[in-house]
């Protein structure tokens, strides 16, 4: 029996938390686990607390039941998904503090082991892949499979990032066998953009700037531009992926403004730079090829600070060769 199942056997209530600005893996893992508990452990009182996620995930079962506000409730077991440290839980960390037992399911190399028990597979493509290993496959129904498939699709960039393994593909195949409409999930939640999302993507690409001899690229969206288009962080998915695919680019940076002198930073690399180290240095985290953090200062300051770290890693690599 897995650790998750053992912990579920020993509780009468379980709350599920994820990270701030929840992405497809976070929403998929949280709702997949929620449906699994509801169908396999009907006696357990359960709920999911997350910040508002993009409506493109509304096809996932339980999406409308996600709670977005903290309240006075307590839960005996707290399960945190896809969150590498306590701060990533945002205001919902209060439920972790009130719980008697806690379990973290994650795949971030920067995971701090903050829960009582931590199942962290840094080789795993996604938290949904980690979750698949913790639940009984025979009890995965179509709606749970849709959640897990969505998470895997998003964290692998549709099965192409370096985190994709033969096991990832095998799991995706098993989920396909549960009858998920894989084509629609991929198109509707990953590739489909609203008109405005396409416009902001276009603008970000148009204004992008290369540096370090074309080996790096960045683009930044200021708050006044976000207001002009009526977009928020949830509309920026995919911008960093296109920057990353610029020919000759090793490292890509995308920023969008979140405060007077504050930016949400996304970092991606091709094959040399370890962006998880850079993000961790600035208080964030993530994976070797995809990481993020929040930074203060002007756009100029942020890019300068990041550029120093990227240049240092590139130089170190050149010296090794
Ligand atoms: P993003 O650029 O936001 O898509 O994030 C890329 C990866 O880095 C994801 O796995 C995130 O979970 C992780 N990440 C992003 N921001 C942070 C942060 N502030 N702290 C820790 N991990 C982060
Ligand atoms: Mn995530
Ligand atoms: Mn993830």
Rg of the chain over Cα atoms, rounded to whole angstroms, equals 20
Matching residue, tokens 């920023």: 255
**Mean pLDDT to the nearest integer, 17-40:** 98
- Report d(CA 110, CA 95) in Å as an integer: 22
Instruction: Kindly give the distance from the C-alpha atom of residue 105 to the centroid of ligand 3, in angstroms, as a whole number.
Output: 10
Instruction: Please tell me if the CB atom of residue 292 comes closer than 6 angstroms to any atom of ligand 1.
Output: yes
Instruction: Please tell me if the CB atom of residue 293 comes closer than 6 angstroms to any atom of ligand 1.
Output: yes
Q: Whose CA is nearest to atom 16 of ligand 1?
A: 292
Instruction: Please tell me if the CB atom of residue 81 comes closer than 6 angstroms to any atom of ligand 1.
Output: no
Is the pLDDT at 321 greater than 90? The verdict is: no
Listed residue (205, 212, 207) closest to 269, CA to CA: 212
Q: Whose CA is nearest to atom 11 of ligand 1?
A: 286
What pairing do the DSSP bridges indicate for beta strands 251-259 and 216-221? parallel
Instruction: Specify the pLDDT at position 32.
Output: 99
Is the pLDDT at 48 greater than 90? The verdict is: yes
Instruction: Kindly give the distance from the C-alpha atom of residue 106 to the centroid of ligand 3, in angstroms, as a whole number.
Output: 7
Kindly state the tokens that stand for 215.
């080996």
**Mean pLDDT to the nearest integer, 240-259:** 98
Query: Which residues, 6 or more positions from 224, have their beta carbon under 8 angstroms from its beta carbon?
Result: none
Q: Whose CA is nearest to atom 10 of ligand 1?
A: 286
pLDDT tens-digit series, residues 55-71: 999 999 999 999 999 99
Q: Whose CA is nearest to atom 21 of ligand 1?
A: 285
- Give the number of other Cβ atoms within 10 Å of residue 321's Cβ: 4
**Mean pLDDT to the nearest integer, 79-105:** 98
- Report d(CA 74, CA 269) in Å as an integer: 41
CB 249 within 8 A of CB 216: yes
Decide: residue 74, CB within 10 A, 0-12 exposed, 13-18 middle, 19+ buried: middle
Is the pLDDT at 41 greater than 90? The verdict is: yes
Of 24, 85, 292, 294, the residue with max ligand 1 atoms within 8 A of its CB, to mutate for a pocket test, comes to: 292
For the CA of 276, the nearest atom of ligand 1: 8
- Report d(CA 74, CA 88) in Å as an integer: 20
pTM: 0.96
Instruction: Specify the pLDDT at position 72.
Output: 97
Q: Which ligand is nearest to the CA of 155?
A: 3
pLDDT tens-digit series, residues 172-195: 999 999 999 999 999 999 999 999
Instruction: Kindly give the distance from the C-alpha atom of residue 126 to the centroid of ligand 3, in angstroms, as a whole number.
Output: 5
**Mean pLDDT to the nearest integer, 134-161:** 98
Partner residues linked to 217 by β-bridges: 210, 252
Instruction: Specify the pLDDT at position 69.
Output: 98
- Give the number of other Cβ atoms within 10 Å of residue 319's Cβ: 7
What pairing do the DSSP bridges indicate for beta strands 262-269 and 251-259? antiparallel
**Mean pLDDT to the nearest integer, 260-281:** 98
Confidence grade of residue 286 (pLDDT, cut at 50, 70, 90): very high
Domains belonging to the chain, first-starting first, are 3-191 (3.90.1640.10), 195-320 (3.10.310.30)
Nearest-5° angle of CA 303, CA 308, CA 314? Answer: 120
Listed residue (308, 267, 261, 311) closest to 289, CA to CA: 267
Instruction: Kindly give the distance from the C-alpha atom of residue 77 to the centroid of ligand 1, in angstroms, as a whole number.
Output: 25
Instruction: Kindly give the distance from the C-alpha atom of residue 120 to the centroid of ligand 3, in angstroms, as a whole number.
Output: 11
Instruction: Please tell me if the CB atom of residue 56 comes closer than 6 angstroms to any atom of ligand 1.
Output: no
Instruction: Kindly give the distance from the C-alpha atom of residue 128 to the centroid of ligand 2, in angstroms, as a whole number.
Output: 10
Provide φ and ψ at 298, rounded to 5°. Answer: -85, 170
Instruction: Specify the pLDDT at position 19.
Output: 98
Instruction: Please tell me if the CB atom of residue 266 comes closer than 6 angstroms to any atom of ligand 1.
Output: yes
Q: Which ligand is nearest to the CA of 292?
A: 1
């Amino acid at each position: 029996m897995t650790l998750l199942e053992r912990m579920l056997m020993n509780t009468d209530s379980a709350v599920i938390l994820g990270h701030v600005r929840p992405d497809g893996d976070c929403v998929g893992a949280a709702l997949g686990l929620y449906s699994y508990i509801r169908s396999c452990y009907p006696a357990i009182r359960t709920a999911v607390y997350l910040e508002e996620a993009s409506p493109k995930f509304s096809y996932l079962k339980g999406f409308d039941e996600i709670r977005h506000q903290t309240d006075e409730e307590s839960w005996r077991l707290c399960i945190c998904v896809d969150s590498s440290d306590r701060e990533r839980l945002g205001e919902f960390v209060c439920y972790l503090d009130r719980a008697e037992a806690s379990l973290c399911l994650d795949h971030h190399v920067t995971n701090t082991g903050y829960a009582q028990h931590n199942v962290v597979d840094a080789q795993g493509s996604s938290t949904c892949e980690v979750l698949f290993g913790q639940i009984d496959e025979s009890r995965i129904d179509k709606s749970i499979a849709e959640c897990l498939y969505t998470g895997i699709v998003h964290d692998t960039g549709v099965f192409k990032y370096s985190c994709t393994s033969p096991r990832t593909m095998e799991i995706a195949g098993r989920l396909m066998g549960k009858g998920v409409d894989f084509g629609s999930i991929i198109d509707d939640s990953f590739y489909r953009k609203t008109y405005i999302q396409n416009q902001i993507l276009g603008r970000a690409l148009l204004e992008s700037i290369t540096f370090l001899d074309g080996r790096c690229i960045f683009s930044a969206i200021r708050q006044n531009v976000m207001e002009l288009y009526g977009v928020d962080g949830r509309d920026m998915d995919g911008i960093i992926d296109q920057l990353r695919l610029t020919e000759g680019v090793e490292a890509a940076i995308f920023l969008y403004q979140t405060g007077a002198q504050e930016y949400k930073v996304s970092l991606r690399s091709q094959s040399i730079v370890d962006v998880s180290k850079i993000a961790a240095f600035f208080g964030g985290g993530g994976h070797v090829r995809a990481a993020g953090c929040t930074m203060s200062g002007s756009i100029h300051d942020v890019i300068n600070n990041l550029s120093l770290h990227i240049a240092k890693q590139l130089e170190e690599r050149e010296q090794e060769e």
